[in-house]
């Protein structure tokens, strides 16, 4: 039985029961109201918690990423200079100073980034604010450590140079003498490049100006109600470079009208196409070549197309893949012939630089199907790549070309670098898949990149730790510390010597005047000095290999020792030493892959924005587009878009006239549409020689 203030409902009168019911109902309503308010309060708290969680998570990500980059930059001090030949040619002091200046600039940007975090301040985000303060403190600490490290390394460089001359005759070991020769070698003074005088602003053709007038209608002062009259001329004039706020106002269907004439003698059709007319990719379609060139330009600038094609797709109710298959056909009709010309030049190149970068293709990974290929003809792989190939920086024939790799192995590379290639030297990184290509090219040499080798030496030397030890010493103590390393031919000293040899090789390379007609003779003379440096470095590293590697189980080779700080550098040198001297015998061969790594960078920017390509065909299209745009720029075609527009319209006009000539000869009329256009076949006979991207 329910208790109600000690009363038994069975003994209560009707009036008492009614009063009790009303009281209970009122209490129930009050409780419901409280629950409702509590629920509303909980919803607001939950919404607030979600916002706060997003804010904290966002700030944590910002701070974590910033700290991660700070740590990465600290540990890999020279990553910013790998692709810069002019920096590699500097002295050690100049290189370190350059690296530190780059890091300080990044830190300043990072501080600005943290300070401008777009979240509210106050107690609600106290935790995230603390993380930002920690990040700022970390960057300040790093800034201070960079200054200290720069000072220490300057001291190390000077002291080693002085100590080597003092102790030149004390070390009788072969490797000690080799190290002394490296560190006492005086590199030529850095050539002074005359500063080019700025041409200033150069007038270019701009779109025609349009005038927009604004008038005052009321002639009444809004403040006092008085009558307003023109002041002097009564006009202000300004010029604004602006954009239309609505993209769809710029889009529209343009109906082109072309006059057609037929030769009475030979029957050839001539079609008039003016410069201000766009033409379709294929005559019976609506997507224009100008739009396709814009798409291609966007891609080669590293931008994904999704946002660019959305307005035209929505406005004209196009299918989801209409732009994609038109772009695919555009590449197949207009870009592929240019790409094939680039590949022909690459096949004749005596020196070929190669490097690869990951790029996902859904079809190659088995998660997408296309009509172009049967499943059994596809090699399924989790990782796909784009292979980049290029000519050396100072080669007379300049090109950059790309090819798609289903996976990074010899079989995939072999599909691109076929036996038809005539190269005498390949310049690559340490990936062993390239070595097998030499089997199909008797007499060809392999040059592995010295910059990759240099990275391992820097990591093994550990500049940060070495500088921390010297930072607490005065000049005399620092000299004694370094001289002890030299006397003992310590691991630190030997690794530094090998590293210094590569630096001085780049200083020698930079002393060549490539603008001179006899630059190849200059290179040949320089390479003789480079040979002595590299051979001495090899003697030094031979001793390091003896110290830090051991025979394998079958006693057929050497392997690194686990936990050994110098082992990785020794193993890499041991593996690469057969392939690091080819450049010494040929002045046209560069010592590194810097040029081809620079060619890969635009692809990596696009990969960051686009993530993947759906099919193998689209991957191949991407490679062809980048090959054409990058090669055009290398051959001094500044307006690639304009050059391609002229070429594409000429090819379109040739195909259009060729097809209509055949149809009219068959007695057909212009009023009847031609449903099938085999543009690649119609392109046969076109003078592609008129449009040569590569200039000899």
Please report the pLDDT score of residue 84 as a whole number: 45
Q: Are 175 and 540 a contacting pair, CB within 8 Å?
A: yes
Is the pLDDT reported for residue 113 higher than 50? no
With bands split at pLDDT 50, 70 and 90, how would you rate the model's confidence at 484? confident
Would the pLDDT of 143 be above 70? no
Residue 124: what pLDDT? 39
Mean pLDDT of 489-508: 92
Task: Identify which of 168-182, 456-470, 571-585 has the greatest average pLDDT.
Answer: 571-585
Q: Is the pLDDT of residue 249 over 60?
A: no
pLDDT (0 to 100) of residue 103:
54
- Nearest 5 degrees, angle CA 681-CA 683-CA 687? 145
Place of tokens 């390479």: 527
Position 474 pLDDT exceeds 90 = no
- Alpha carbons 21 and 17: distance in angstroms, whole number: 6
With vertex at residue 576, the alpha carbon angle to CA 572 and CA 580, rounded to the nearest 5 degrees, is 130
Q: Please report which confidence band the pLDDT of residue 116 belongs to, taking 50, 70 and 90 as the band edges.
A: very low
Q: Which tokens sit at 164?
A: 């080597």
Grade residue 515 by pLDDT with cuts at 50, 70 and 90.
confident
How far CA 42 is from CA of 16, 38, 46, 54, 129, in Å, comes to 38, 6, 6, 18, 26
Where residue 353 falls among pLDDT bands split at 50, 70, 90?
very high
**What pLDDT, on a 0 to 100 scale, did the predictor assign at position 421?**
95
Cα separation, 646 vs 692, in Å, equals 13
Lowest mean pLDDT: which of 2-16, 38-52, 163-177, 267-281?
2-16
Rounded to an integer, the average pLDDT of 212-217 is: 64
pLDDT at 226: 74
pLDDT surpasses 80 at 490: yes
Return the exposure string of 571-584: e unless at least 16 CB atoms fall within 10 Å of the residue's CB, then b. Answer: bbbbebbebbbbbb
134-141: average pLDDT: 55
The model's confidence at residue 129, banded by pLDDT at 50, 70 and 90, is: very low
Backbone angles phi, psi at 590, to 5 degrees: -80, 155
Beta bridge partners of 405: 385
For tokens 């543009």, the residue is 679
Mean pLDDT on 613-628: 94
Residue 407: name the closest of 370, 441, 378 by CA: 378
Q: How confident is the model at residue 269 (pLDDT cuts 50, 70, 90)?
A: confident
Q: What is the mean pLDDT of residues 103-130?
A: 47
Residue 153 has pLDDT above 50, yes or no: yes
User: Can you tell me the mean pLDDT for 120-139?
Assistant: 48
Q: Is 206 left (phi over 0), alpha (psi -120 to 50) or beta?
A: beta
Pairing relationship of beta strands 425-428 and 445-448 according to DSSP bridges:
parallel
What is the phi/psi pair of residue 588, to 5°? Answer: -85, -5
Q: Which residue do the tokens 């797709």 mark?
A: 313
pLDDT (tens digit per residue) in 368-416: 888 878 887 888 888 999 999 999 998 999 999 999 999 988 999 999 9
pTM of the model: 0.72
Q: What are phi and psi of 425, to 5 degrees?
A: -145, 135
Weakest-pLDDT range from 4-13, 335-344, 405-414: 4-13
Is residue 587 scored above 90 in pLDDT? yes
| Cα 515 from chain centre | 29
Q: How confident is the model at residue 453 (pLDDT cuts 50, 70, 90)?
A: very high
| Of 243 and 539, the one with more pLDDT | 539
Q: pLDDT category, 486, cuts 50, 70, 90?
A: confident
pLDDT (mean) for 126-152 = 52
pLDDT value of residue 63? 55
Q: What is the mean pLDDT of residues 551-565?
A: 90
**Plot region of 145 (φ>0 → left; ψ -120 to 50 → alpha; else → beta):** alpha
Mean pLDDT of 684-690: 93
- pLDDT higher for 166 or 565? 565
287, pLDDT greater than 80: yes
Euclidean distance between CA atoms 60 and 131, whole angstroms: 7
Going by pLDDT thresholds of 50, 70 and 90, the confidence category of residue 55 is low
Does the pLDDT value for residue 14 go beyond 80? no
Mean pLDDT score, 63-79: 52
Distance of alpha carbon 578 from alpha carbon 435, whole angstroms: 11
Q: How many other CB atoms are found less than 10 A from the CB of residue 553?
A: 6
**pLDDT at 5 > cutoff 60:** no
Say if strands 425-428 and 351-358 run parallel, antiparallel, or are unpaired: parallel
**Predicted local distance difference test score (pLDDT) of residue 78:** 40
Beta-ladder partners of 403: 387
Query: Distance between CA 326 and CA 320 in Å, rounded?
Result: 12
User: Residue 208 is encoded by which pair of tokens?
Assistant: 């025609």
pLDDT at 119 over 60: no
Does residue 167 surpass a pLDDT of 70?
no
492, 541 Cβ separation under 8 angstroms: no
Residue 307 has pLDDT above 90, yes or no: no
Question: pLDDT (tens digit, 9 = 90+) per residue, 168-199?
Answer: 666 678 888 888 888 888 888 766 666 666 66
Tokens 């007695």 locate to 667
Q: Which of 77-91, 442-456, 500-514 has the lowest mean pLDDT?
A: 77-91
Per-residue burial over 330-361, b = 16 or more CB atoms within 10 Å of its CB, e = otherwise: bbbbbbbbbbebbbebbeebbbbbbbbbebbb
Max CA distance (Å), the chain: 124
**Mean pLDDT in residue range 93-100:** 58
Poorest-confidence range of 30-34, 279-283, 549-553, 591-595?
A: 30-34
Chain mean pLDDT for the chain: 79
Of the spans 26-30, 125-129, 601-605, which averages the highest pLDDT? Answer: 601-605
Select the more confidently predicted residue: 573 or 467. 573
Instruction: Please give the pLDDT value at position 315.
Output: 76
Residue 52 has pLDDT above 70, yes or no: no
pLDDT for the residue numbered 65: 58
Share of the chain above pLDDT 70, in %: 74
- Region 276-288: mean pLDDT is 87
Query: Is residue 373 within 8 Å of residue 616, measured between CB atoms?
Result: yes
Question: What integer pLDDT is reported at residue 114 of this predicted model?
Answer: 47
Rounded to an integer, the average pLDDT of 589-611 is 89
Look at residue 252 in the predicted model and tell me its pLDDT: 64
Segments in 319-389 forming alpha helices (H): 322-330, 336-348
């Amino acid at each position: 039985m329910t208790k109600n203030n000690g009363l038994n409902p069975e003994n209560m009168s009707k009036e008492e029961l009614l009063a009790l019911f009303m009281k209970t109902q009122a209490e129930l309503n009050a409780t419901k109201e409280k629950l409702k308010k509590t629920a509303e309060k909980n919803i607001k708290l939950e919404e607030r918690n979600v916002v706060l969680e997003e804010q904290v998570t966002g700030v944590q990500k910002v701070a974590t990423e910033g700290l991660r980059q700070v740590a990465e930059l600290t540990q890999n001090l020279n990553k910013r200079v790998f692709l810069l030949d002019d920096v590699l040619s500097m002295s050690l002091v100049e290189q370190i100073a350059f690296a530190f200046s780059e890091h300080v600039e990044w830190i300043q940007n990072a501080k600005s980034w943290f300070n401008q975090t777009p979240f509210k301040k106050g107690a609600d985000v106290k935790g995230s604010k603390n993380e930002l303060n920690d990040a700022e403190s970390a960057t300040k600490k790093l800034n201070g450590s960079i200054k200290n490290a720069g000072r220490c390394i300057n001291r190390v460089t000077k002291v080693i140079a002085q100590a080597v001359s003092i102790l030149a005759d004390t070390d009788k070991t072969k490797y000690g003498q080799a190290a002394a020769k490296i560190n006492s070698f005086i590199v030529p003074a850095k050539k002074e490049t005359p500063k080019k005088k700025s041409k200033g602003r150069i007038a270019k053709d701009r779109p025609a100006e349009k005038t927009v007038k604004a008038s005052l209608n009321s002639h009444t002062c809004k403040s006092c109600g008085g009558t307003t009259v023109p002041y002097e001329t009564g006009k202000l004039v300004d010029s604004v470079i602006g954009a239309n706020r609505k993209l769809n106002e710029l889009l529209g269907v343009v109906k082109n009208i072309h006059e057609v004439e037929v030769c009475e003698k030979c029957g050839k059709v001539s079609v008039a196409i003016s410069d201000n007319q766009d033409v379709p990719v294929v005559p019976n379609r609506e997507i224009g070549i100008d739009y396709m060139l814009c798409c291609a330009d966007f891609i080669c600038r590293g931008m994904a197309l999704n946002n660019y094609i959305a307005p035209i797709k929505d406005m004209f109710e196009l299918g989801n893949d209409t732009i994609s298959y038109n772009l695919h056909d555009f590449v197949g009709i207009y870009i592929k012939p240019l790409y094939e010309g680039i590949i022909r030049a690459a096949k004749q190149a005596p020196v070929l630089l190669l490097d690869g970068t990951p790029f996902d293709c859904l079809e190659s990974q088995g998660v997408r199907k296309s009509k172009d290929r049967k499943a059994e003809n596809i090699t399924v792989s989790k990782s796909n790549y784009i292979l980049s190939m290029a000519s050396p920086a100072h080669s007379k024939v300049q090109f950059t070309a790309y090819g798609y790799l289903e996976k990074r192995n010899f079989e995939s590379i072999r599909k691109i670098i076929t036996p038809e290639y005539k190269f005498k030297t390949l310049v690559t990184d340490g990936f062993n898949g390239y070595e097998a290509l030499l089997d199909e090219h008797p007499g060809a040499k392999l040059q592995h990149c010295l910059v990759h080798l240099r990275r391992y030496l820097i990591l093994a030397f550990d500049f940060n730790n070495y500088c921390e030890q010297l930072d607490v010493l005065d000049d005399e103590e620092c000299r004694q510390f370094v001289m002890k390393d030299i006397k003992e031919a310590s691991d630190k000293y030997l690794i530094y010597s090998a590293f210094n040899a590569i630096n001085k090789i780049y200083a020698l390379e930079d002393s060549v005047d490539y603008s001179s007609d006899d630059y190849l003779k200059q290179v040949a003379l320089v390479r003789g000095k480079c040979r002595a440096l590299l051979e001495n470095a090899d003697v030094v590293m031979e001793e390091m290999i003896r110290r830090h590697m051991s025979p394998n189980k079958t006693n057929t080779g050497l392997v690194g020792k686990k936990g050994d700080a110098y082992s990785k550098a020794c193993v890499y040198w041991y593996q690469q030493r057969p392939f690091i001297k080819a450049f010494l015998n040929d002045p046209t061969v560069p010592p590194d892959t810097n040029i081809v790594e620079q060619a890969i960078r635009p692809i990596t920017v696009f990969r960051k924005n686009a993530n993947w390509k759906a099919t193998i065909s689209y991957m191949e299209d991407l490679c062809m587009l980048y090959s054409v745009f990058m090669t055009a720029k290398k051959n001094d075609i500044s307006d690639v878009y304009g050059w391609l527009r002229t070429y594409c319209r000429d090819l379109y006009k040739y195909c259009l006239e060729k097809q209509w000539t055949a149809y009219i000869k068959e007695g057909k009329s212009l009023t009847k549409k031609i449903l099938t256009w085999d543009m690649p076949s119609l392109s046969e006979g076109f003078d592609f020689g008129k449009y040569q991207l590569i200039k000899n």
